[in-house]
Amino acid sequence: MVSIRGLRHVYKGGTVALEGIDLELGTGLFGLLGPNGAGKSTLMKILCTILEPTEGRVFVAGHDVLRERQAVRALLGYLPQGFGAWRLHRVGEVVDTLAFLSGLRDASKRRARVRAVLEQVGLLGVIDRKVKNLSGGMVRRLGVAQALVHEPRVIILDEPTVGLDPQERLRFRQLMASLGRDRTIILSTHIVADLGSGFDDLALIHHGRIVFRGSPTALVQQARGRVIEREIRPGDEDGDGSAVEVVSRSSERGRTTVRAVITDGVLPAGARPVADPTLEEAYLAFVAGQRQPGTAIAAAAS
């Protein structure tokens, strides 16, 4: 469905956002994971024909994003990171207007489609409510509805859960899992937890390059031996040492245990490898191997 070959983008001033991106994506859920500033949004904008790449080719269902923009746009549904306009409009009006702009001109068919897609995302009950009166989670679901209304074959979601509470994030992941059965969904995020159980394919992007491509299971396997657990004695706040990146702390009966990622490949004294790292820990372990010493990475797992 999506083919990216030798993609490179340089902004004015010389900032290289993407360097040599090659990806082939089929039906299902695909996660693009990386810290803020890694190049995710630049890649999403190029896929959506909003931004022209400096070099390389991108095809959506065989259509070139530069030479066949209208054909590509007809195949795409896009939820930008900043979706939240239309505050004074009602939910149904927003989706109806964007459905019309997407080419659904028959009023009765469009009305039926609007109701169907709002029911799909759980918003049919608030079809007459103004956008300004929606919760943050409802606004994101409204964004998904407008991206779905013209029945696209590829859906692109850029940081879709930013600002959502845990319950809304869970609901969003469940919605994506149901939608990814018969289309391509590309979800760009810096939040590892966004990639729920429905994601069996992901790529890590770091400084504009794809540094890993595979399944979450494969990423976790690579992290074994690099995620450790260690008990910290009272008063020993620096006991984890400078060669690890602490991921979490837990205390029980006066004992504090830290889980951390080794950043220099050396197992600290008194530490034991974690048998089953989490996906978040695996991500941190992988990025730790890519970064330069002293670069903070812990925020990427928040």
Tens-digit pLDDT profile for residues 1-25: 899 999 999 999 999 999 999 999 9
Q: How far apart are CA 292 and CA 17, in angstroms?
A: 18
Using the predicted structure, report yes or no on whether residue 197 has a pLDDT greater than 90. no
Cα within 13 Å of Cα(187), Cβ side: 30
Last residue of a domain, one of 214, 244, 266: 214
- Of 192, 214, 236, the one marking the end of a domain is 214
Tokens of 179: 């939608």
- 210 and 226 together in one domain: no
Banded model confidence at residue 120, pLDDT cuts 50, 70, 90: confident
229 and 188 share one domain: no
| Residue 52 reports pLDDT greater than 60 | yes
Whether pLDDT at 240 is above 60: no
110 in the same domain as 231? no
For 28, residues 6+ apart whose C-beta sits below 8 A from its C-beta are: 180, 181, 184, 185, 200, 201
Helix ranges restricted to H, the chain: 40-47, 69-75, 91-101, 107-120, 136-148, 166-179, 216-223, 279-290
Find the mean pLDDT for residues 161-172: 79
Question: How much is the pLDDT for 133?
Answer: 95
Say if CB 32 and CB 219 are below 8 A apart. no
Q: What is the CATH number of the domain that holds 47?
A: 3.40.50.300
Residues 259, 146, single domain; the answer is no
3-state secondary structure of 90: strand
What is the average per-residue pLDDT within 196-220? Answer: 89
Q: Do residues 194 and 234 both lie within one domain?
A: no
Number of domains in the chain: 2
Q: Mark whether 121 and 85 lie in a shared domain.
A: yes
Range of the domain at 251: 220-301
210 and 237 belong to one structural domain: no
pTM: 0.82
Instruction: Supply the pLDDT for residue 236.
Output: 54
Of 214, 248, 265, which residue sits at a domain end?
A: 214
Same domain, yes or no, for 235 and 184? Answer: no
**Residues 130 and 56 placed together within one structural domain of the fold:** yes
Q: Same structural domain for residues 167 and 81?
A: yes
156 shares a domain with 261: no
Indicate whether 171 and 99 sit together in one domain: yes
